[in-house]
Amino acid sequence: MLKKLLKFIAGRIRERSTWLGLVSLAAALGLALSPEQKEAIVSAGMALAGLIAALTKDTDEET
Q: What is the pLDDT of residues 29-62, one digit of tens each?
A: 765 667 787 778 778 878 887 887 788 777 665 5
Q: What CA–CA distance (Å, rounded) separates 48 from 17?
A: 13
Structure confidence at residue 63 (pLDDT): 47
pTM for this prediction: 0.48
Please give the tally of structural domains in the chain.
1
Its domain, for residue 13, covers: 2-55
Cβ atoms of 41 and 27 closer than 8 Å: yes
Residue 54: helix, strand or coil by DSSP? helix
Q: Which of 17-21, 22-26, 27-31, 54-58 has the lowest mean pLDDT?
A: 27-31
Distances (CA, A) of 63 to 15, 17, 38, 60: 18, 22, 44, 9
Specify if 17 maps to a domain: yes
Q: Evaluate if residue 7 carries a pLDDT over 80.
A: yes
Mean pLDDT of all residues in 20-32? 73
